Structure 1
Amino acid sequence: MKKIIYLSVIILSLIFSTFSLSEEYISGKVISLLEESIGNEEEGIEKISKFKVKILNGTEKGKEVQVDFPTYLEKQYNMSIKVGDKVVLYKSYDSTDSESGKEEVEENIKAENLIERIDISDVDKRNIFYFLTLIFVGLTVFIAKKNGLKSLLALFLTLIFIIKIFIPAIAQGYSSILFAVLTCIFSTVITTLLITGFSKKTFIAILGTTSGVIVAGLLSYSFGNLMRLTGYGDADVLSYAGILSNIDLKELISAGVIIGSLGAVMDVAVSISSSINELYEINPNIEEKVLFKSAMNIGNDIIGTMINTLILAYIGSSMLTILLVYIQSSEYPLIRVLNYEDIAVEILRAVCGSIGILISVPLTSYMGTKIYKK
């Protein structure tokens, strides 16, 4: 029922949006509150505030405009705006004649026979993001010194790879799993080379990480097929089905598992490979069986916290969904809840990612032992 409501809203929005010629998002700053007037309660509006806003970018930079900002009776729809805030302005042009054709509307643009409408869309959060990122970078460098700087560089290069190669490749219809594995290999190679340098333990960490995330990805893909997952678990995704037609969303679920578990699996693989290296340097004559057993014991101690990290991360990202399920638990039996696709996908990601961590321990231990002893 909820999906039908969401789809209806989306369709109606698309229908009414045909009357709007164009839209633009620009930055602005609230200069002053000019007046407040009582709203129409029948329309659910408590009051209307009229702000003076200065446009900060675009062709009309520096221009001051008056913007009406409604306060709704339903508090959950309201957004807090005060004088001095930087805001995102939504500028649209509406034809005075709703039945004008596309060509006629384009002529109206040239003749400027259109009504310009400016609304406050949201608070501009960019400066807050920049400040938060600065704190993160500063603390990383201050606490971890040189290695922290190397880690930041590795993270930056990984993000560039994801944005410039991984995402465009998926958008063009290439295999999500293939490019997720390539992203994993690239990130692991860059990170381990920068942190530990070129050595046997680096090579072992690369092999262990890649093996773990590939296992996690293949498991999620296999069980996703068994559960008949489509990738269209959200009504918002359904509304974009047209532009996603050349993308295999089932593969995208597995790609998300690979990318999501990469950090935790890499941590385990690097820790075990470094441990094997230390054990071998202390005693080069150590028996292969003893070296493997020691590596496994170290891996077993790491597993507990790493699995907690991954599971809790997925729970944290799905907190709203979990809360809604709990509140409506009397209306939805367990058989219904566990068969919602979005919930099934989150469970699949958490479990398969954890299996990737588990499997990386014996794989890294075995490969590391063989490489050092032979």
Structure 2
Amino acid sequence: MKSFFKGFLYFIFIFLAFLFIFFGNRYVHNSQHYKGVVYEREEELNQLIFAKVISIDKTAEDASDSSNTVIYFKARVFGDKESNDKLITGTQVIDNSVKNSIQVSPGDKVVLFPMDDEFLFQYYYRFDKISVLGGIFAAFIILLGGIKGVKTIISLALTCLSIFFVFIPSIGRGFNIYLSSCIICLYIIVTTFTIIYGYNKKSATAAFSCLIGAAFSVIITYITDKWMLLTGYINDDAYMLGTILGIDNLDVKAIMFSMITIGAMGAIMDVSMSIASALYEIKLNTAGSSPWALLKSGFSIGRDMMGTMTNTLILAYIGSSLIVVLIYANSDYSLMNLLNKEELIFEFLQSLIGSLSLLLTIPITAVVCSFFFTDKYYKECSLKKQPAVSRYLAKL
């Protein structure tokens, strides 16, 4: 009966999490708070069609440009109710000077744009392949994690849905970006820890520690923003964003704030749960563990995690911004001018604030766990397990 009640509460929580996304999306789109304009979808996107290459008819030199090669092919349309299975002729223009140009071949799925009586190649259709890779990813999570793997997939889906259906539309509708990002971070923390780890003291302690770590990330970001006199205009896209969204005086610094905060969330959650889970098991299986002993263990575990997790964050941000770094590194900028470019400063900030928030989360989690994992709690949660442990130790 007790397990049924816990399962019922679990599904109620998931249902409420989906309701937040559903009504949050409706509220954002129907709100009178909107400051921008509604942009019509580009006409080109309405005309693009999907097709599968059946055969290559011929390959010829481009009459207007001898450095180009034109490939003529036949393809069969798919995914369109009106012209599904229709056989069409397409053309692909290959620039021979471009090293990574890939010619179409039979069996390839492509995206074509109709122009007059011909269909011009735009790019390759790749959604089916990324879907297969995503399916393999989900299968491995479920295979290795079992029921917890299923919970991980549900949690990941809720996280992505909340960002793409609530947070991003709220920016486009002119809502306060600082408040929206904080609400989404709170939602992600609560849903992730509750769905994956359930209703227990371990998940509550980890979530509480994660909230404090995220709060430190917010504070550090705010301080560095004022300290470094950042503008938020790190590249041309930042300048164009307000025009694209149709919002006057868009606060691009708030978007930078969101990028840093949300980017650091994953590492903070990982560290807080890893330390909380390790200390929980220590307390559960070691009789008489004092808060001080748990605190020392927490710091020891945190020190071991510190190096790899910090490297993970730094390398992730360096990898994502490698093109930007290469462009500036091979320019004529002097080193001091290069290091003062706001675009690079922002990349450094993401790495450093994420790592600093991670480092602050380690002692916070250790202190919180040593305080909440008391002897009284240990006796309550291990009452049934201790005899089995004692019998096992007696056999050794």
TM-score over 0.5 (shorter chain): yes
- Change beyond 3 A, Cα 1:49–1:281: closer
Shift, 1:26, TM fit: 1.9
2 CA distance for matches of 1:212 and 1:44? 60
| SS in structure 1 of the partner of residue 48 of structure 2 | strand
Which residue is 2:223 aligned to?
A: 222
Match of 1:54, SS? strand
2:207 corresponding residue in structure 1? 206
TM-score, structure 2 length as denominator?
0.75
Which letter does structure 2 place at the counterpart of 1:230?
T
Q: Cα distance, 1:31 vs. partner?
A: 2.0
Change (3 A) 1:44 1:175: farther
Instruction: Report what 2:177 is aligned to.
Output: 176
Equivalent of 1:67 in 90, 103, 116: 90
**Does residue 249 of the first structure (1) align with residue 252 of the second (2)?**
yes
In structure 2, C-alpha distance between the alignment counterparts of 1:45 and 1:226, rounded to whole Å: 53
- Structure 1: which 5+ residue stretches go unaligned? 1-19, 93-114
In the TM superposition, residue 232 of structure 1 has moved relative to its aligned partner by 2.9
Aligned residues: CA RMSD: 2.6
Aligned pairs for 1:310-325 within 5 A: 310-325=313-328
1:334-353 pair list within 5 angstroms: 334-353=335-354
Contact 2:279 2:298 (C-alpha < 8 Å) held by counterparts: yes
- In the superposition, relative to structure 1, how do residues 44 and 219 fare at CA in structure 2: closer, same or farther (>3 Å)? farther
| Aligned partners of 2:91 and 2:118 also within 8 Å | no
Report what 2:5 is aligned to. Answer: none
Show CA shifts across 1:247-297 (max 9, x none): 422111121122212121111111222233234435675444343233222
Match of 2:101 among 73, 78, 86: 78
Per the alignment, in what secondary structure is the counterpart of residue 241 of structure 1? helix
Q: What letter is aligned with 1:184?
A: C
In terms of mean alpha carbon deviation, does 191-200 or 152-161 score higher?
Answer: 191-200
Which residue of the partner structure matches residue 35 of structure 1? 58
Q: Residue in 2 aligned with 1:299?
A: 302
Partner of 1:110: none
Aligned residue pairs, count = 330
* Separation (CA, whole Å) in 2 of partners of 1:57 and 1:73: 32
8 Å CA contact 2:73–2:91 kept in 1: the answer is: yes
Find out whether 1:56 has 2:57 as its counterpart. no
Q: What are the equivalent positions in structure 2 for 1:219-298 lying under 5 Å apart?
A: 219-244=220-245, 245=247, 247-282=250-285, 286-298=289-301
> What per-residue deviation string (whole Å, max 9, x for no partner) do you get for residues 46-103 of structure 1?
22222223222333333333223212132147343222210011236xxxxxxxxxxx
Unaligned stretches of 5+ in structure 2? 1-41, 377-396
How far apart in 1 are the matches of 2:214 and 2:114?
45
Q: Please state whether the residue corresponding to 2:373 is helix, strand or coil.
A: helix
Could you tell me whether the CA contact under 8 Å between 1:215 and 1:356 is conserved in 2? yes
User: Partners in 1 of 2:43 and 2:311 — Cα distance?
Assistant: 50
Inter-CA distance 40–233: structure 2 relative to 1 (3 Å threshold): farther
Seq. identity, %: 29
Residue 138 of structure 1 is matched in structure 2 by 139
Matching residue of 2:386: none
> Does the residue aligned with 2:175 lie in a helix, a strand or coil?
coil
CA contact (8 A) 2:52 2:109 kept: yes
CA deviations over 1:197-240 (Å, ceiling 9, x no partner): 21222111111112212222332233234333333322244344
Q: Please report the TM-score for the alignment, with normalisation by the length of structure 1.
A: 0.79
Q: After TM superposition, where is structure 1 displaced by more than 6 Å over at least 4 residues in a row? A: none
Q: Distance in 2 between matches of 1:46 and 1:240?
A: 35
Whether the 8 Å CA contact 1:44–1:72 is kept in 2: the answer is no
Secondary structure (helix, strand or coil) at the match of 2:244 reads coil
The alignment partner of 1:136 has SS state of: helix
Residue 47 (1) aligns with residue 55 (2): no
Relative to structure 1, the CA distance from residue 47 to residue 141 in structure 2 (aligned partners, 3 Å threshold; closer, same or farther) is same
Aligned partners of 2:238 and 2:252 also within 8 Å: no
Of 104, 111, 114, the match for 1:88: 111
In the other structure, the counterpart of 2:128 is 127
Q: What secondary structure is seen at the aligned counterpart in 2 of 1:231?
A: coil
